[in-house]
Amino acid sequence: MSIVPLQQTEPPADPIDRLAAAHRAGHGLARPFYMDPTIFERDMERIFRRHWHCLAHASVIPNAGDFELFKLGDEQVILTRGADGAIHAMLNVCRHRGAEVCTKPKGNAKFFVCPYHAWTYTNDGALRAARLMPKDFDRAAHGLRKLHVRVASGLVFVSFAETPLDFDPIEQSLRTSCGQYGWGEAKVAHRELYAVQANWKLAVENYVECYHCGPAHPEYSQTHALEQPLHMIEKLNEAMEARTCALGIDVGSGDHWRNSAGGHEAIHTFRYALYDGVSTGSEDGKPVAPLMGRFSAYDGGVTSIHLGGTSFLVCYPDHGMIYRFIPKTVDTCEMELIWLVRGDAEEGRDYDLSRLTWLWKVTTEEDKKIIEHTARGVRSHYFVPGPIAPMEQNELRYINWYLEEIARA
């Protein structure tokens, strides 16, 4: 009798790859993924600097010369509107010795003058003047480093990658979702930044599953059917689809957790129901602002979009929500919420800001708490990730997507 030796595969040499290879299928991520600075660096390299991010709605810089500074992890991005109306994004890093050239959070400027030695950049990033430099100094080669920018249905996206993931299908997809809700002509009614004492993945994981909605979000669960087990949502959706869907919103499109190996950015659009009699995401389910875009009536549903690693959008017929996740350090992140209303809506006349923002403020404060509870819990040396519940399938897919992305150089 011959003995066939067992095929032994060597564990990967890289400690992060080894940890990813040891991941237990169907379970959450292990403790180091939330605490290890070397994994955070890997996240930044292979997710953050590879994928597109929604930074803002274009209406925050309406005029030529307007700018706003965005801080993301170690990076600072200056978003500007040039004289021709085009939007530019560049790193806030002087090409001389690296000082921040923009020192204000927002404003209007034709030039950015570095506070160190006064190199002067135009608001599209070109180096205009560099004091006392030799005659043959090549100014054209020393503009601020530009990021790729795309504006789609009013949303401004940036990519740090030298060769960004294909954005064309994303633009097309957003046209059939946010575009139908009139987001291209919308305006920002309110923004709120939440500092969260947790690794950014804990925040995203929390966003993508609604298993917690019942226990953690009593207010949200009164109006939104997403916290129901899947078979109940499908039934509710049938009723919702029967009432609606003549609007040409392309639902069920894309696959958020398709990995980027094929060079494409991932997007997923889906619809879910509000309970009968509920018009929108508000405290009492009643409208909070004028109908947007192609909507002439409330349709009983919500359109939700998951895009890349950090950008999430929610469309109600009368307002929109942009949800941005911003990694800061290995154990801190931020979440920015941006409320959109119809471009001609006036606060006080057409909407009441506290009614408009009530539901997602309450919900996000609850989320911040449970994310931070989790961050403190997973610090324990005894934390062992448990099984992902049937209602958390989207989180399971996120975890698998994440592991594939960080394993791919």
Q: Which does 387 bind (CB under 5 to 8 A by kind): ligand FES, Fe ion, none?
A: none
Closest contact distance (angstroms) between CB of 94 and ligand FES is 3
Q: Which does 258 bind (CB under 5 to 8 A by kind): ligand FES, Fe ion, none?
A: none
Interface pattern 330-369 for Fe ion (x via CB under 5 A): -------------------------------------x--
Q: Which of 106, 117, 212, 243 binds ligand FES (CB under 6 A)?
A: 117
**Which among 318, 321, 317, 320 is positioned nearest to 290, based on CA atoms?**
318
How many CB atoms neighbour CB 351 within 10 A? 23
Amino acid at 117: H
Q: How far is 114 from 198, CA to CA, in rounded Å? A: 34
Q: 362 phi and psi, to 5 degrees? A: -60, -45
Q: How far is 56 from 66, CA to CA, in rounded Å? A: 13
In this structure, are residues 185 and 343 in contact, taking their beta carbons and an 8 Å threshold? yes
Six-digit token pair at 184? 């291209």
What H or E segment, with its residue span, contains residue 231?
Answer: helix 230-243
Quick check: 302 binds ligand FES (CB under 6 A)?
no
Q: Interacting stretch for ligand FES, rule CB under 6 A, among 110-118, 145-153, 214-222, 361-369?
A: 110-118
Quick check: 97 binds ligand FES (CB under 6 A)?
yes
Quick check: 146 binds ligand FES (CB under 6 A)?
no
Three-state SS for 285? coil
Instruction: Compute the C-alpha angle 58/103/48, nearest 5°.
Output: 55
Quick check: 398 binds ligand FES (CB under 6 A)?
no
Closest contact distance (angstroms) between CB of 141 and ligand FES is 15
Q: Which does 330 bind (CB under 5 to 8 A by kind): ligand FES, Fe ion, none?
A: none
Closest contact distance (angstroms) between CB of 305 and Fe ion is 17
Q: How far is 311 from 325, CA to CA, in rounded Å? A: 7
Q: How many residues bind ligand FES (CB under 6 A)?
A: 10
Quick check: 227 binds Fe ion (CB under 5 A)?
no
In this structure, are residues 192 and 357 in contact, taking their beta carbons and an 8 Å threshold? yes
Q: Which of 35, 99, 109, 407 binds ligand FES (CB under 6 A)?
A: 99
Q: Which does 116 bind (CB under 5 to 8 A by kind): Fe ion, ligand FES, none?
A: ligand FES
In this structure, are residues 201 and 208 in contact, taking their beta carbons and an 8 Å threshold? no
Q: Which does 145 bind (CB under 5 to 8 A by kind): Fe ion, ligand FES, none?
A: none
Q: Which does 137 bind (CB under 5 to 8 A by kind): Fe ion, ligand FES, none?
A: none
Residues in 65-94 at the binding interface with ligand FES, rule: CB under 6 A: 94
Quick check: 119 binds ligand FES (CB under 6 A)?
yes
Q: Which of 47, 60, 114, 371 binds ligand FES (CB under 6 A)?
A: 114
Give the residue with the Cβ less far from ligand FES, 118 or 230.
118
Q: Which does 367 bind (CB under 5 to 8 A by kind): ligand FES, Fe ion, none?
A: Fe ion
Quick check: 111 binds ligand FES (CB under 6 A)?
no
What H or E segment, with its residue span, contains residue 241?
Answer: helix 230-243
Give the residue with the Cβ less far from ligand FES, 49 or 117.
117
Query: Which residues make beta-bridge pairs with 323?
Result: 312, 337
Six-digit token pair at 353? 């800001």
Three-state SS for 198? coil
User: What is the spatial order of strands in the sheet that 106-108 belongs to?
Assistant: 87-91, 75-81, 66-72, 106-108
Q: Mind giving me the DSSP string for 23-70?
A: PPTTB---THHHH-HHHHHHHIIIIITTS-EEEEEGGGS-STTEEEEE
Q: Which does 273 bind (CB under 5 to 8 A by kind): Fe ion, ligand FES, none?
A: none
Give the residue with the Cβ less far from Fe ion, 318 or 367.
367
Closest contact distance (angstroms) between CB of 33 and ligand FES is 37
Give the residue with the Cβ less far from Fe ion, 180 or 304.
304
Q: Which does 114 bind (CB under 5 to 8 A by kind): Fe ion, ligand FES, none?
A: ligand FES
Three-state SS for 407? helix
Closest contact distance (angstroms) between CB of 95 and ligand FES is 8
**Contacts of residue 3, Cβ cutoff 8 Å, sequence gap at least 6:** none
Determine the number of helices (DSSP H) and then strands (DSSP E) in the chain: 10, 17
Which chain residues interact with Fe ion by CB under 5 A? 367
Binding site for ligand FES (CB under 6 A): 94, 96-99, 114, 116-119
